[in-house]
Every structure is written in C-alpha cells, then in structure tokens.
Structure 1
C-alpha cells in the first residue's frame, strides 16, 4: 500500500540537490574566509618585517661608519724651547703639564701643509682638520717618555669629525664629500694630506673604550658599557635570590587566603607599571630618604632591581607551576619533607624556566632609560666608575644624550651605539631561548 504522505521522487531529488548546493556554498564561503584570514595574516607579517628591515637598514647605514676612525699622522718636533724652556722637568715634573702643546701641533700642521704658522686665521682653519684632543695626545707622549723632548717623531692624531666624514665619503666617491663642515680650502688641505699618505683609517677601538666627550671623534661607549654591566651585576645579586625565594614561598608554602591573593595581584600589577614610576620611587626613597648618591651605580642598580623583581617572580612561579604535582607526591611518598621535595626535586626541574625568566628580566633592565633619567644617570661621565658610589651612566642613556646633540658626527655614533645595544639584547634573548629548549622537560 503506497504512503500518500511521502513526497514524489522528483521533489525529494530537488530538495537534496538544493541542500547540497547550500552546503557547497557554505563550504566555499568558509574556505574563502579562511583564505582571506591567512592572506591578511601574511600581509601583516610582511608589513611588520618590512618596517623592521627599514629600521634595521637605517640604523646600520647610519652607524657602521662609526666603527672606523680616520687618523692623521704628522712628524712632530718636540721643541724644548716651547715645552720646557727653563729646564725644570727634573725638579718639577708637573711643568710638562703646563706646556703649550697646541703651539707644537700648529708648527707640525704648518710644516706638513706648507703654511705660515704666524698667520693665525689660516692656522685656525687648518687646525680644524685635527681633533681638539690632539694637544692632550702630545702631552701624553711627553709624559710617558720625556726623552722625546728635542726630537722629531711621527705622531698619530684623531681627525676631526668633519674631516673624518669627508674622508669616509671620499673612499666611496673617489673625492672629498661635501656637506661635512669643511670649506673649500680645508678640503684642499685634506687632499694634500691624503696625497702625502698621512691620512689613514682603522678600526675605531676608542668607540668601545672611551667615555663621554663633547667631540664626536673622541666619544665612546666604554664608560656607559661599564655602568650597564655594574648595574646588571647588582640586579643579578639582588633581584635573582629575592625574586626566586619570593616565588617559591608564594607557590609552594604560602597559604591560600586573601592576603596572599592580594600580594599576587599586586605583583602582577607591578609587572605592568610604567618604568618611569620606578624611577620616581628610586628618586624619592633611595636618593631622597636613604641618601644614596645621585647618578651612582648603586642607585641605578637598586632601581633596576625593583623593575626586574616582578618579572622574575612571575617567571619563577610559572616554572614551578609547570612541574607536575606527581613529582611532589612521589618525593613526599618516600619520606621527603615538603622543603626537601621542593628544593631537591621541584626546583632543579624548574631551573631552566627560572634562568630564562631572569635573563629576560635583565634584558629588560638593560634597555631601560626612563627610570635612569630621573635618578641622574644622564650626567656627563667621562671616567670609569671605581666603586658603586661613583657617578656612571648606562648605554641606553648614552644613546639618549647623543641623540640630542646637534653635531653631525654624533648621528653615526648614536646609531652605532644602538647596534651594540641590540646585539646585547638579541644575545640575551637567544641565550634564554636556547636554555629553555635545551633543558625543558616534556611531561
């Protein structure tokens, strides 16, 4: 007997066909949406890489030249009538410090260029080819060996920043570049020195070892690197044990109540607080209340310690939490105390994550500038700090100060210092990733 409620076969076929068409349409729309999402994601990544490449190329193109320094070698006559006319160096060694070394330098420049040393205007322009530190260089030569007085020696001086830039552009264009601060006459003189073989270029070791200077050709990041290193040592000595101990207590031993919950919330909030707030805290407490010397290595290290502590605590707690609870149970089941279970079993397994967090926290501290500006690390420091209470600066602060200089020579040094800072930050992040992948356990 035929079911009268059953639809005719052609109608059912049409319904199935329409349903199949709808499914195909929805599938096509879903695939198109996934394709669009993937395309947008690739475009975002490509755009980010493009801007990163532009930034990197800009920094390298401006900064690579700072790692090369132009020098000028001249025959210098250490005239006794100028250095020590009364022959007092035996009884009064400090007499050599008061000699007119700029006059000796002027005579050497005049002889090399065939100029009249009595023409003050001409000599003033000619002397601008050589760094103003050249007189100090001559004094150091005489102090190291007073027997050079009365002799003629070849002495190498730093070229001035304009001469340095002009000579570097000449290497590319086979002629002296323009727009570097040299007038036409000075360019002719520099060309003469180049023809004589007196101008050379070598690796600028002074950039890595010298301190701050108002002259670009003599400025370096050595003191800033030392200050950053000492401050990171203070951070490592203070922040690592305090942060790890705090995290172990909160994660393993602290009771779960409102007080510990409040502490955890505050630690998480401190990790997101702008770094300049820590600078204000350091200025008010360490300098204003505790009396720590302003601009010292110690106050910088203490401020960076406060900045780094939340990061280390959070990373350590995450590393401890990643250790399976079965490890604790197994240790307790064989008779270990709770402290033995934590320090003998859990902590060694969490060490890679703790070390990674500590390195990342120190990397953040290395790149901070704002809190250090508030505690006076922006001071002009030319000498290496000999104790934690001595004035110092840091590499990011040195970059900040150079970026505000108006002289053209500081542009290359600013970019070069950024390159050095990026190398250190990249190295620390790579070390953190390698340590995590090498020692992490798969549970």
Structure 2
C-alpha cells in the first residue's frame, strides 16, 4: 500500500471520528431548538467556511478535534449598549439588520442612539433621534453587523441555558454517544471482515528454524500437537512449545486435505525461551449476524475495560511521561494499522472512536464530562452555575489540555528522531 493511500485512510478516519462526534452535539442541540452558530472540524484559523441556514460550517487548520458553538453556552461576544449609535434595516415592519460600525458608509438605514434594547426576551429596540423615541420590533433572526461580520441574535428561547437540564445534557452527551455507536458498528464490521476462527494455521517459517527442518509450510493447519487437539487454541500451542524445549514433539498438520505427521524439536533461545520458528495465524470462515453481534459487543467490552485500566494507571502514577502518546504517535500507529490491511484499520478505528467517547466523558474542564458535571450541579441546586465562572473553568482546562498536547507531541517527535 502506498504512503498516499495510508495517508488518505488516516485523514478519512479522523474526519469521520470527529465529524460524527460533533454531529451528535449538533443534531440534539437543533432538536432542542438551540441556535447552533458554528459547526467546526479542527481548531485555529479557518481554511474553508460556508453558511447554511443559521449555522456556519468551518474546516480549521489544526486537525485535533472540533466543536459545536451553541448560542448562550458561552457569554455572547457582540453587545449593544444604551447610548450607542446604531443603524437599522427594516423589512416588513421588523428590524432585520443592526449595524454597529461604518454607519457613514451605509445607505438606506435608520440611524439613532439606543434608548432601550432587548434582543433576548421582548425583541425590540428604541431609538432616540431629534428628541423623539421610536420603538421597532426585532425579527427573531435579525443580524448584528460589525467589523464585516454578521452574527445572528439569539432570543432567550434559542439559547442553550434556556432549555431544561435534560435537553442540555442530551446535547452534550450526544457527542460521546455517537462515538460509542460508531465503535460498535466498526467492531461489527471487523467481525464480518475478519470472520470466525476455525483453526490455527502456520503463517511464516523462519529460515534455519526447527519448523523448516521439520518441513512445515506456510498455510499448514495444525490439527494436534503431542496428541492434543488444538482447534483454535493458539495460546495452547505456545504453552506446549515452552514445556517441551529440546524435546521432540509430534505435530499432526493438514495440507491439501491430507493429514501429515511431523516431528518438531523446539530450540531454546537465551532471551526468548523455546521457539520453533513459526508465526501462528487463524484460519477463518464467514460469520452470521447472530454470531457477529455478540462478538462485536465482547470486543467493545474488552476494549472499554482496557481503556479504563489505562486511565486508572495514569491516575495513580503507574505511567511515565514517555509512555504517553500524542497526535504524532496516534498517526504513527494508525499508519501501521492501515498498512496491515482494511480489517486491522477498521479495528483500530473502533478503538479510537471508543477511546474518544470515553475520554470526552472524563470530568476534565473543557471536555463534555465537565459540562455534564456542571449540569448535574445545577440539577441538584436547582440553580445554574454562574456562566462566567463556568467559562473560566473550561478555558483554563482547555489551555492545560493544549499544553499537555504540545508536550506529548514534542516527546513523540523526539522519540521519532531518536528512533
């Protein structure tokens, strides 16, 4: 497989994992009636941007995640204050555009000083001009225009914090949920691609090894070893080899639908123990949906346990910094799986999707888990946490995560240079 193909597979994998995660947030936010300002893949400067309906879709420079920006989730950036001179565009009796700058360059607008304005609940603006005050109703989708940017207003009923806790929690949890669903689908796909193991076969023969001396061949099916039926017990073969170092072993193998008897004497290696010089693989056959579903679930449960064990070891300091890997290491390992074939790549993608879902549910500031913690506190107190304080917590957490990512990325690069 060429480097271009491997690279395209890795890019596609990350794009699907991140996009589906953010789509989960997006879909359930829209279902709850929340105004979604931006659906972004990546962070940093914009590479591609377009608007459809109320949402701006952007592809950003740094492919290390994504975000869905919901109205009211963080304090709004654009504000209009009393005494400020603004310009209005009126259509069908309602304000459709509110201009905050370059007023002398705009034509066909109504100019005035803001006497009163409410863009959240009552939706009106009152202008003072030449001693009179005139009130204008504001359209629920009116645009604020400043510095060449248009920002749609967010009435209170379109803001994140106006919705019940359960709907907000679902909009946050939906991102990891999509990753869990994708992981299961990928594990299921892997089961169909990989098939069901039915026997143990010989993969490769090491030149000059006891296996070559015994005239074993790649593709031979191992039926019995020392009278013991093997079936799909690959680990049992390894145990028998270790127990019979230097002792002749009787192997019954099947080749071209004929059973043959071979005598193999394991050789002891100083650092590796007893070896016969073969790699072992599974012979497989097609699998039904009824067999694939529990197999996919078992793989997902096993992977979840391993991921949680890793987090536990990290929490209790059983990892060194060199054990951690960042984006560079993930890309490196992804390349190895992509080169190994479509089935290993699908399995690796399932693991990453599962990891992304679990990691995002950790109660770390800036992650989905932390936002769910704040919603849980609100549900218990029956009173929301101060949005400014919550935003500060998430900002600090995001900054710390970025510093950690920079550190592990530097470590990955040094490790690559050193080989």
| TM-score, length of structure 2 as denominator length | 0.28
Compare CA radii of gyration and give the structure with the larger one: 1
Between structures 1 and 2, the one with greater helix share: 1
The answer to which structure, 1 or 2, has the higher relative contact order (CA under 8 A, 6+ apart) is 1
| TM-score, length of structure 1 as denominator length | 0.27
